[in-house]
Structure 1
Amino acid sequence: MLSRTPISHDPVTAYNSEPREVSSPNVIVMGDVGAGKSSHTKCNYVVRPLLLKGRRAVVFDKKDQNGEGEYSNVVRHYGFEPIRFTVDGTGTTLNLLDPMIARGTGIQGQARLLNIVTRLARGDQPLDGWEEEALRAALRATVDRIQGRAPVLADVLPNLGNITDDPEYHALSPTARDDLHKAGLSVKWTLNGLLDEYTGLLDGETSKSVDLSGKLTSFDLSQLPDDGPVVPVVMAIGNMWMLGRLRHERDSATTVVYEEGWHMIGGPGAQLIKSNQKLSRGLGISNVFVMHKGTDIPTDSPGMAIIQEAQTVVVYRQSRPDDALWCQQTFGLAPETARTIENLADGHYIFKYGSHPETHVQHIRSSWERELTNTDEGLAAGTAD
């Protein structure tokens, strides 16, 4: 807006340049509802990069638009259907123990995922040491015993608390074995409740429709309830499955968009993202986290570390002074930028990447992009949004 000149930036290109313009290909997009961040994300991190050779995009699509995710029409434009998730048994199934996850991060990754899912099912209550050990023991027993098919979560449940056949625990005192047994039962009841509540979503092998063969893949979460653990659970499983798939398909760089990204970096799911950062960079993944504000994220959480590592930052209007100040301080912006963030017009944003100073930018779409990316929340009139 200062020089009236165009700005071009692609995080993957910037990360792979010589010398590197950014040390991380990850992106944070923040802003109030209706300010323009959704349209910006569709254009700058999905539609436009897909014009480049060797690029694809995966979107975790949470926003409901006429009974389906807002990216559904964009996915169909590329000749594919969104992968739809529901809680009534009519949608897609995701298997926490899918072999694809083990291909990416091994049994350790599966154990980490089970731990996170259990924690999410408890309302972000961490497992204690006994419960973690009981869960690892049950997973080992399940993988050893199930042959000829992919194990599923229901196969783990009978092994939780059942340590009588595991020689590793024979030397424990009767009291210790009893404590481990009780810990396993505690985890079992938590996972039992999760399966009962979300029948058809988590209680079987992964549906054949879960695939990354197209240039654009959408995990449509728009029909899942906002309350409860199901959205971050599906995001976490989908993330781990995707890493396993991409580990054996390294022909493209992949942009992964997390709409309502707070679900992944505002809770225990951030541990998965953080622990897999090195693997993600090696697989050519650029994570884009789209969220309303960052003030709800604890300063000492893994989610804050992910935010601070991102080297591409886009801030649309944050009308609350506390939220605007958080952005100014967290992203190292000039002090006067906080007031600018509070008063940004629709379609305007503060843009910062690498060591470059922030810039006030207006997002302008072509008529084709407006048609493809408009949502029910219609943004600014004309070409600027």
Structure 2
Amino acid sequence: MAGRSVIDSLTEGFASLLFGKIETTRPPVRTSSSQAQAVYLPTAAPGLGDSGVIIGREVYSGKGYIYDPFQLYGQQLPAPHWLVLGESGNGKSALEKTYVLRQLRFKDRQVVVLDAQGEDGVGEWHLIARSLGVTPVRLDPHGARADSIRLNPLDPAITSTGQLALLRTIVEVAQGRPLDERAGYALKAAHLRVGENAARYSRQPILSDIVEALRTPVTSAAEDMNVTIEDVQAWGLDVALVLDRLVDGDLAGMFDGPTTQGIDLDSPLIVFDLSAIDRNSIGMPILMAIVGVWLEHTWLRPDRVKRILLVEEAWHIINSPFVAQLFQRLLKFGRRLGLSFVAVVHHLSDVVDGAAAKEAAAILKMASTRTVYMQKADEARTTGKVLGLPRWAVEIIPSLTPGIAVWDVNGDVQVVKHIVTEHERPLVFTDRAMTESSADRAEAAALAAAEAEAEEAAMLREREVKPALPAPSTHYRAIAAGNQLPSSPAGRERAEVRPLDPDDDDELTAIAGMLFGKKAELPYRPAPIVPPRQAEEDR
């Protein structure tokens, strides 16, 4: 009381006499977190927008997850390229296939798939291609099948500089080392001679012409370097031996002739079936290099079409320094022409520790979207370190169930459950190989059980959090069809197919029901066009 004035003491005493004793402190309220959660309203981070392809549902918030690199590019996404990682059997293939099927519902979309996975003697994408009326482009050593085709590295559609760069890459991949200056000069002289002869005789140059020019160089090639013909011949001998494998060796039948006519570059879907090539041979990276350069010069065009290049077993590209350099240039060039590159890889550690670590890092840096399915703990730590994932995401990757993945879209990290409709399921989950043995049937049953368990766990999380589901407003525009549907085989005239009305689109309705409930209505209802005369009569 020593520090208080007499007036304060009298005022407090008078107030106590009138109103009772004044309590200046309040005892703390003790409660449980489950009861106190009602005080804090549920919140969720904003999504990526409502324009694009429906992928599935965010596990923690319950919101629909929509993604489209072409819609996000610029403001939310610095690059449209996408990296998909994860162990086999966790849903990578299902995600790729449904993503392509849903993208093709848009107007002005084209997709090229390099299909390196085989099943029953055909590629994994064979069923989807056939369902859309598209004939896969099959590359087969020795041309054993009647439907196999050829791609010419010296196709006139490829520029002279591009042809020479591609020939160098083929030799470097086969030798496993860079081409020295002498061998490079011999190859350059042979390519120049072949080009001049082709122009003189009005025919398409082929690889066997290059091999012959390397074996028998002309006098002018030696005189330009002030050496003998024998010197130039010796410089190009190893190069000739490498290219001879593509002409008469174990890789013959795919590149030793003019490009096969009938590859429809305007088809909405082009599938290159690479399943006949040994995935562990040098033929696979060589093949991907040739296909990549050929697509760069024939498929990419400065128009309004948005294009997607999806590569299975992309480690063949990223793990080879020579092929990686070619694709690095393709990605930089293609981004200006509306190209989105999708690379599918199982283990990132095999890439970052390989011979092409520098080139691999450059390609990974251009992938602003990363999707990571279940990986083992040590692999998840490596992936998180390379990709810069947050700690919480790295910790949950080993426990992810099939169909659930961590999505990192330029720093926006979410855990997403992929949704597959009943219409898509027969195309995505093929049963041909699964029904051949009891072990395979058991594996298929285990996968189905794991998916059901994951779905149940996701529903439990949703009930606990009780998120406010978004109103079914414009989300279905994400997969509403445009003015074009894929319906034609490669190399044939395509019949015009009008898009379905959203009310009659069973697949669209199925996705809507899975995402927003069975009673959800489609919000996208185009108003009927009424002729002026009929409108006058109605009035």
Whether these two folds match at TM > 0.5 is yes
Letter in 1 for 2:122: E
> Residue 257 of structure 1: which of 295, 310, 329 is its match?
310
Residue in structure 2 matched with residue 141 of structure 1 by the alignment: 193
Residue in structure 1 matched with residue 233 of structure 2 by the alignment: 181
The Cα of 1:173 is off from its aligned counterpart by 4.1
What percentage of residue pairs aligned between the two structures are identical?
31
Residue in structure 2 matched with residue 152 of structure 1 by the alignment: 206
> Residue 335 of structure 1: which of 381, 391, 402 is its match?
391
Q: Please, which moves more after superposition, 33-42 or 277-286? A: 277-286
Unaligned runs of 5+ in 2: 1-58, 435-443, 456-539
Q: Give the conservation status (yes or no) of the 8 Å contact 1:252–1:284.
A: yes
Residue in structure 2 matched with residue 370 of structure 1 by the alignment: 425
Q: Output aligned runs, 1:2-81, within 5 Å.
A: 2-15=60-73, 19-44=74-99, 46-81=100-135
Q: Give the conservation status (yes or no) of the 8 Å contact 2:246–2:254.
A: no
The Cα of 1:307 is off from its aligned counterpart by 1.1
Relative to structure 1, the CA distance from residue 180 to residue 347 in structure 2 (aligned partners, 3 Å threshold; closer, same or farther) is: same
Residue in structure 1 matched with residue 9 of structure 2 by the alignment: none
C-alpha offsets along residues 338-372 of structure 1, whole Å, 9 cap, x if unaligned? 2211221111101011232x111111111112122
Q: 2:173 matched to 1:92?
A: no
Structure 2 distance, partners of 1:96, 1:372, is: 33
Q: Give the conservation status (yes or no) of the 8 Å contact 1:236–1:269.
A: yes
Secondary structure of the 1:217 match is strand
Structure 2 distance, partners of 1:242, 1:173, is: 39
Relative to structure 1, the CA distance from residue 194 to residue 26 in structure 2 (aligned partners, 3 Å threshold; closer, same or farther) is: same
Q: 2:194 matched to 1:194?
A: no
> Residue 241 of structure 1: which of 294, 316, 331 is its match?
294
Letter in 2 for 1:126: P
Residue in structure 1 matched with residue 347 of structure 2 by the alignment: 293
Residue in structure 2 matched with residue 323 of structure 1 by the alignment: 379
Residue in structure 2 matched with residue 347 of structure 1 by the alignment: 403
Q: 2:329 matched to 1:275?
A: yes
Structure 1 distance, partners of 2:300, 2:274, is: 24
- Normalised by the length of structure 1, the TM-score is 0.90
Instruction: Give the paired residue count.
Output: 372
Q: Give the conservation status (yes or no) of the 8 Å contact 1:64–1:70.
A: yes
The Cα of 1:166 is off from its aligned counterpart by 2.7
Relative to structure 1, the CA distance from residue 171 to residue 109 in structure 2 (aligned partners, 3 Å threshold; closer, same or farther) is: closer
Letter in 1 for 2:263: V
Structure 1 distance, partners of 2:251, 2:387, is: 39
Structure 2 distance, partners of 1:66, 1:247, is: 32
Q: Give the conservation status (yes or no) of the 8 Å contact 2:301–2:337.
A: no
Structure 1 distance, partners of 2:302, 2:288, is: 21
Letter in 2 for 1:99: P
Q: Give the conservation status (yes or no) of the 8 Å contact 1:83–1:209.
A: no
The Cα of 1:198 is off from its aligned counterpart by 2.1
The Cα of 1:76 is off from its aligned counterpart by 1.4
Structure 2 distance, partners of 1:301, 1:112, is: 20
Q: Give the conservation status (yes or no) of the 8 Å contact 2:369–2:409.
A: yes
The Cα of 1:240 is off from its aligned counterpart by 1.3
Report 1 or 2 for greater relative contact order, CA contacts < 8 Å, sequence distance ≥ 6. 1
Unaligned runs of 5+ in 1: none
Relative to structure 1, the CA distance from residue 314 to residue 278 in structure 2 (aligned partners, 3 Å threshold; closer, same or farther) is: same
> Residue 274 of structure 2: which of 221, 237, 242 is its match?
221
Letter in 1 for 2:348: G
Q: 2:365 matched to 1:312?
A: no
Secondary structure of the 2:424 match is helix
Secondary structure of the 1:256 match is strand
Q: Give the conservation status (yes or no) of the 8 Å contact 2:116–2:279.
A: no
The Cα of 1:248 is off from its aligned counterpart by 4.1
Letter in 1 for 2:283: V
Structure 2 distance, partners of 1:324, 1:127, is: 37
Structure 1 distance, partners of 2:231, 2:399, is: 57
Letter in 2 for 1:288: V
Letter in 1 for 2:82: V
C-alpha offsets along residues 260-292 of structure 1, whole Å, 9 cap, x if unaligned? 111111112111111222221122111100110
Letter in 1 for 2:78: S
Residue in structure 2 matched with residue 208 of structure 1 by the alignment: 261
Secondary structure of the 1:149 match is coil
- Normalised by the length of structure 2, the TM-score is 0.65
Letter in 2 for 1:128: D
Q: Give the conservation status (yes or no) of the 8 Å contact 2:246–2:256.
A: no
Secondary structure of the 2:243 match is helix
Root-mean-square deviation over aligned CA pairs:
2.1
Mark the structure with the bigger radius of gyration: 2
Secondary structure of the 2:112 match is strand
Q: Give the conservation status (yes or no) of the 8 Å contact 1:98–1:206.
A: yes
The Cα of 1:159 is off from its aligned counterpart by 1.7
